[in-house]
């Protein structure tokens, strides 16, 4: 059961009207917020554009994948060429060593003969 | 889009008084109350898709109005540049609530209400302005029922004491 103070509170604390033009001001703020949102977010994209964007993305990805495969193949070829060059250099080095040895041996023999 | 706007406008028209009054009684300042009430409706516009019924909208508005108003008070009090004089001026019951209620008693009750701590004030406003039960207030303010009951009791006790001393002053003045 409510006492006198509670009854007074109930009676006096009734709702008060909002200020004049309140609804218009709220609607204006909502419209401004919507405009800001639309400026930030693109408009809904049509199905035709969606298909075009998807096709472009697919083409870009395909080109990217092909380019990547091409580069990997080139790198592998370069590695093979490098390996062949290393082997050739080793063989040439050994041959040159042999020739040098033979030359020095022939030189030593002719010196002995002259003496 | 136009139908949605008209529907939303209808909601604002229907609930503007409720939201504004909750904010005004918690804040005690018409300018601040309008600012908070506008914020509440702008937030409502963004949340309408999640609200299922008319009752849900009303519950949501009461809850958000009470929370945003107490948040506003907290922000004002924690602002370093906020001066005590500004607070006194903003919450001068003669400046803020002059138009609330009818006559001296209404104004005195408003004065007394604004002198309550903010936690108690929100519970009292929802109890006596919105005629909510303690259980409904607990759901609205997202507080335990025991806390709400205790806040209501403490609030009423403080108001009784203030009313007693005001009455003595009034008799002395006469």
Q: Give the start-to-end residue ranges of the domains of chain B.
A: 2-173
Structural domain that includes position A92: 73-115
Angle in degrees, CA B49, B51, B52, rounded to 5:
110
pLDDT at B91: 44
pLDDT at B23: 96
Average pLDDT over residues A10-32: 93
pLDDT at B83: 45
pLDDT at B76: 82
Residue A111 lies in a domain: yes
In terms of pLDDT, which residue wins out, B114 or A42? B114
Distance from CA of A23 to the nearest CA of B (A): 6
Over residues B45-96, the pLDDT tens digits come to 999 888 889 999 999 999 999 999 999 988 887 765 544 444 444 444 444 4
Calpha distance B66→B140 (Å, rounded): 8
**Chain A partners of B38 at a C-beta cutoff of 8 Å?**
22, 25-26, 29
* Torsions phi, psi for A41 (to 5 deg): -90, 135
Reported ipTM: the value is: 0.77
Is B155's pLDDT higher than 60? yes
Over residues A51-63, the pLDDT tens digits come to 899 999 999 999 9
Over residues A53-105, the pLDDT tens digits come to 999 999 999 999 999 999 999 999 999 999 999 999 999 999 999 999 999 88
Mean pLDDT of chain A: 88
Residue A102 lies in a domain: yes
For chain A, how many structural domains are there in total? 1
Q: Are the beta carbons of A16 and B9 separated by less than 8 Å?
A: no
Calpha distance B26→B73 (Å, rounded): 9
Q: Which residue of B has its CA nearest to A32?
A: B42
pLDDT at B170: 62
pLDDT at B4: 78
pLDDT at B95: 43
Average pLDDT over residues A17-25: 95
Share of chain A above pLDDT 70, in %: 95
**Chain A partners of B13 at a C-beta cutoff of 8 Å?**
23
**Chain A partners of B42 at a C-beta cutoff of 8 Å?**
26, 29-30, 33
CB proximity list for B3: less than 8 A, separation 6 or greater: none
pLDDT at B118: 85
DSSP readout, B75-91?
HHHH-TT--HHHHHHHT
Average pLDDT over residues B113-129: 92
User: Superfamily assignment of B2-173 in CATH?
Assistant: PhyR, sigma-like (SL) domain (1.20.140.160)
Average pLDDT over residues B161-170: 75
Q: Are the beta carbons of B113 and A13 separated by less than 8 Å?
A: yes
Residue A8 lies in a domain: no
CA dihedral A40, A46, A52, A53 (to 10 degrees): 30
Q: Are the beta carbons of A18 and B17 separated by less than 8 Å?
A: yes
Residue A63 lies in a domain: no
Is B105's pLDDT higher than 80? no
DSSP readout, A39-107?
HHSPPPPPHHHHHHHHHHHHHHHHHHHHHHHHHHHHHHHHHHHHHHHHHHHHHHHHHHHHHHHHHHHHH
Smallest Cβ distance to B129: which of A6, A15, A30? A15
Q: Are the beta carbons of A15 and B101 separated by less than 8 Å?
A: no
Q: How far is CA B1 from CA A26, A34, A41, B7, in A?
A: 17, 12, 17, 10
């Amino acid at each position: 059961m409510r006492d006198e103070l509670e009854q007074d509170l109930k009676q006096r604390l009734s709702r008060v009207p909002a200020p004049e033009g309140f609804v218009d001001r709220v609607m204006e703020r909502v419209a401004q917020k919507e405009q800001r949102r639309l400026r930030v977010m693109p408009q809904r994209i049509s199905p035709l554009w969606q298909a075009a964007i998807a096709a472009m993305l697919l083409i870009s990805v395909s080109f990217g994948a092909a380019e990547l495969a091409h580069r990997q193949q080139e790198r592998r070829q370069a590695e093979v060429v490098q390996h062949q060059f290393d082997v050739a250099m080793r063989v040439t080095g050994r041959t040159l060593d042999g020739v040098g040895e033979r030359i020095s041996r022939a030189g030593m023999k002719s010196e002995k003969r002259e003496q | 889009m136009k139908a949605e706007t008209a529907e939303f406008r209808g909601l604002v028209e229907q609930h503007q008084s409720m939201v504004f009054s909750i904010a005004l009684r918690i804040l005690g300042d018409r300018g601040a109350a309008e600012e908070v009430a506008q914020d509440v409706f702008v937030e409502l516009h963004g949340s309408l898709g999640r609200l299922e019924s008319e009752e849900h909208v009303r519950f949501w508005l009461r809850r958000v109005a009470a929370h945003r108003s107490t948040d506003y008070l907290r922000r004002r009090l924690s602002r370093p540049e906020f001066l005590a004089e500004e607070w006194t001026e903003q919450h001068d019951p003669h400046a803020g609530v002059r138009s609330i209620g009818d006559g001296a008693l209404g104004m005195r009750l408003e004065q007394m209400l604004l002198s309550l701590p903010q936690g108690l004030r929100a519970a009292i406003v929802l109890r006596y302005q919105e005629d909510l039960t303690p259980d409904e207030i607990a759901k609205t303010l997202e507080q335990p029922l025991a806390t709400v009951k205790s806040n209501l009791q403490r609030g009423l006790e403080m108001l009784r004491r203030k009313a007693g001393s005001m009455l003595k002053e009034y008799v002395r003045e006469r």
